[in-house]
Structure 1
Amino acid sequence: MDYETPLFFHVMEYADAADRDVIDMVSGNPDWEPPEALREGLREYADLEPDRFQYAPSAGLRELRAEIAARRGVDAEQVVVTNGAGEANYLSMARALERNRGNEILLTDPVYPYYPGKTTMLGGAQRFVATDDEGQLDPTAVRAAASDETAAIVVNTPNNPTGAVYPAETMRELVAIAEEHDAILISDEVYDHYDLSGEFASALETDSAHRIVTNAFSKSMAITGFRVGYAIFPPELVSDARSRHMLVNVATTRPGQYAVLQALRETGPDYYERNRKRLRKRVETFTDALEAAGAEYTTPSGSFYVMARFEGYPGTLANVERLIDEAGVAGMPGEAFGDSRREWLRFALVTPRVEEAAERLAAYFD
């Protein structure tokens, strides 16, 4: 089987090997501080009894699952704590395909590249539905693409790479389409704390046995290296998801779960609002420079990515490498996200050097 390895690692390695200063705008690693309570939790953990350094319960620490469940309005038994949102999405897609209600996964175009990669790995077939120029997904187009072969519809809101935030009506319609075809809507909501529009709607707002919601603390707490995520399953799908999780990972990090739990309990909304404020300022700075450079660009409603199109400079891997070598800015090629954004480049606004990067791009394309 030929797996589809995402281009992220190639671009990062190329940038690291460059013989000049390069501003990294490739990966979604927040550069800001995690919650102080999270650091305190880690310090506390170092002094706990030796039994706390052993396997965690496979489905996750009971207290963490209960905290997540209370915040999301579900039963704790529906929650599986995973090795980041990556494993949460893998388990969700696997469960959808294991139901034997079809072999097709509906994905958006543009798409986060790990979804088609997971589809291939799990033996499913990909089918794409194009979003509009702002990244919004039309449920009518999804309904037209869905069939009895549809095992799952996978969406990401707020979206990577477009920055779109799907409204409540869209989410309700997507759940309804999944129900009509006995499929599963998988809603990856890892950027929910970076909704800049106030329009974010979780799939959990629609009660259904045909939807799974995935999330993680990687982005919201700026801890992508901790690998603490979760999936919320319908009761009838959770048992086999737990079994697969146990066979693949046994459990995820115990100290990470402990620290995340402390951060959840002790971090107020001002922490998240400060980060959104920082992000709004970066979006304005970066898009103003793109405007001055004569580029076409997206203004994200959520997440922390901007896509840009420069005349005569399509979003190929070769052009991304040229940009690293000649401008000292590393972004992602649009072709990594599907056919519809091949003319575009994607930049992650998770560096304090956003203004400098924008100036370099403006000078390069002047």
Structure 2
Amino acid sequence: MEYEEPLFFRVMEYAAHADGDIVDMVSGNPDWGSPPAVAEGLHEYADTGGREFQYPPSEGLRELREEIAARRQVDESQVIVTNGGGEANYLAMGRALERNAGDEVVMTDPVYPYYPGKTTMLGGTQRFVETAADGSLDPEDVREAASEDTACILVNTPNNPTGAVYGEDAMREFVAIAEENDAILVSDEVYDHFDFSGEFASALQFDSPNRIVTNSFSKSLAITGFRVGYCIADEEHADPMKSRHMLTNVASSRPAQAAVLHALRETDADYYRESRELLRERVETFTAALDDAGAEYTTPDGAFYVMARFPDFPGTLENTYELIDEAGVAGMPGAGFGSARDDWLRFALVTPRVEEAADRLADYFA
């Protein structure tokens, strides 16, 4: 699975040019709005001018790195502010592969398609471990796949596209497997604020030089366009990752970082709780209608995606286009996430029209 061109933008472009009214459930752009402190932070920054409009420190504003470090209970020197979670994963995977400790990246199937693409771009070899029907990942399957050729073990929790959440026991084992094979566990935790199960465990709970955690504010603060993410790594990895970051991007956006810093300081827990509750309700609404459509589906423990399989309707790109044209609902083909669920489709529940979309699907497959 090369994944040189993830299908997201191809599907979004098709939906944008389709006739009629289309409910967009393709990409994970939160629709519930950012906390007011994000805009407040931007307004405050706009009034600073002068030096504050110039390059920030390459590794990120010190105040933001200190805020992240305090929240994640790590040293500020371990934090690198990145251009979204995408660059954070690129830096972490690049570090794993440049250590001459193997060239394989072990990841799940189904998989977020940017991971295989980055692996290929970085000169690595993809190795896939199939998840269970509910999206859970058995550490023993990962242990069996890992070897002296393994440079990186990549996990995403809560998971896109399955919605699975990996608990403390699983994460402990993933860290241990990385240590056993002199590999780096890269734990992408961008959906950590969207855990419905209460079982989410960060890899940061386990002190090890063999783990790097990546995250982003894109989803949690509903600011996907700001491109502010971060990674946390021991200094032996953080220093070369900072060099790669500087050579690739010089620095991340200073106004976006300033706004995020203000929002972190001024936004209380109610904002995150309310967005979780909204998504929990949408999951219930959407899956109830999928029952009416006779579909098999995943019930996510976290994040905001549902995978569904409809009778005699495999999740190909062509069938995704058919749903856009005939049902007025745009999802993602399961084939875009690997081979294990290539007869499924994935829907992002980030639209206030979730119930309408579900009704359209139920009517189409009735």
TM over 0.5: yes
In 2, Cα distance between the equivalents of 1:61 and 1:46?
Answer: 16
| Matching of residue 97 in structure 1 with residue 97 in structure 2 | yes
How far apart are 1:251 and its partner, in Å?
0.5
Partner SS for 1:340: coil
**What residue in structure 2 maps to residue 295 of structure 1?**
295
Distance 1:360 1:293 in 2: 9
Instruction: State the SS of the aligned residue for 1:127.
Output: strand
Give the structure 1 partner of residue 265 of structure 2: 265
Which aligned runs of 4 or more in structure 1 are off by greater than 6 angstroms?
none
Give 2:342's aligned residue: 342
> Does 2:51 match 1:51?
yes
How far apart in 2 are the matches of 1:140 and 1:333? 29
Amino acid at match of 2:270: D
Alpha-carbon distance in 1 for matches of 2:226, 2:76: 22
Change (3 A) 1:3 1:305: closer
Residue identity matched to 1:83 = N
2-side partners of 1:114 and 1:16: how far apart? 22
Q: Distance in 1 between matches of 2:247 and 2:35?
A: 32
> Which one-letter code corresponds to 2:286 in the other structure?
F
Kindly indicate whether residue 161 of structure 2 is the aligned counterpart of residue 161 of structure 1: yes
- Residues 1:73 and 2:62 aligned together: no
The normalised TM-score by structure 1 is 0.99
- Over aligned residue pairs, what C-alpha RMSD do you find? 0.7
Tell me which amino acid in the other structure corresponds to 1:116: P
Where does residue 132 of structure 2 map in the other structure? 132
Equivalent in the alignment of 1:116: 116
Match of residue 5 from structure 1:
5
Q: What is the Cα deviation at residue 292 of structure 1?
A: 1.1
- 1:293: how far off? 1.1
Structure 2 CA distance, aligned partners of 1:199 and 1:3?
31
Tell me the SS of whatever aligns to 2:193: helix
| Aligned counterpart, 2:187 | 187
Name structure 2 gaps, 5 residues minimum: none
- CA deviation vs aligned residue, 1:303-346 (integer Å, no higher than 9, x gap): 00000000000000000000000000000000000111011000
Distance 1:57 1:113, change over 3 A: same
Deviations 1:83-138 (A, max 9, x none): 00000000000000000100000010000000000000000000000110010000
| Residue 279 (str. 1) matches residue 272 (str. 2) | no
SS in 1 for 2:340: helix
Query: For the residues of structure 1 that align with 2:3 and 2:126, how far apart are their CA atoms?
Result: 13
User: What's the TM-score once normalised by structure 2's chain length?
Assistant: 0.99
Task: State, as a whole percentage, how many aligned pairs show the same letter.
Answer: 71
- Note the C-alpha offset of 1:4: 0.7
Distance 1:49 1:284 in 2: 47
Q: Which amino acid counterpart does residue 344 of structure 1 have in structure 2?
A: W
C-alpha offsets along residues 219-268 of structure 1, whole Å, 9 cap, x if unaligned? 00000000000000111111110011001100011010001001101111
* Structure 1 counterpart of 2:23: 23
Give 1:110-259 correspondences, 5 Å limit.
110-259=110-259
Aligned-partner SS, 1:244: helix
User: 2:360 is matched by which residue type in structure 1?
Assistant: R
Cα distance in structure 2, aligned partners of 1:234 and 1:345: 38
